[in-house]
Amino acid sequence: MRIHLTSVFVDDQDKALRFYTEVLGFVKKTEVPLGADRWLTVVSPEDPDGTELLLEPDGHPAVRPYKAALAEDGIPAASFAVDDVPAEFDRLRELGVRFTQEPLEAGPVTTAVLDDTCGNLIQILHSK
């Protein structure tokens, strides 16, 4: 068994697609119209057949309070592996990304947390 798909709830699919592709560097994998929304996924360009990230609309009544509670408590909605957190932090900050946690070493991992502009905190990390 392996993870095929995971999701983040987003407040605007177009804005999310721009952020996750143009800023974070993912590529669009699937886009299927579903009424006012879409089944919209992105993947890593390094693993185009790997785990897909669904940019899921946050219209369900339970989602926005859930997202707000996570963000208020500083809890990331997802975690993405990078090769070098300080370098990625610098690259993303140059692009105007807002971080809620600068690079932090915690034993064998280094992490940082960013705001995805769609209502989520996202952790980036690398292991030593």
Q: What is the per-residue pLDDT across 51-109, written as a single tens digit (0 to 9) for each?
A: 999 999 999 999 999 999 999 999 999 999 999 999 999 999 999 999 999 999 999 99
CA 110-113-114 angle, to 5 degrees, is 140
Phi, psi of 49 (to 5 degrees): -105, 10
What predicted TM-score, i.e. pTM, was given to this entire model?
0.95
Start-to-end C-alpha separation, the chain: 26
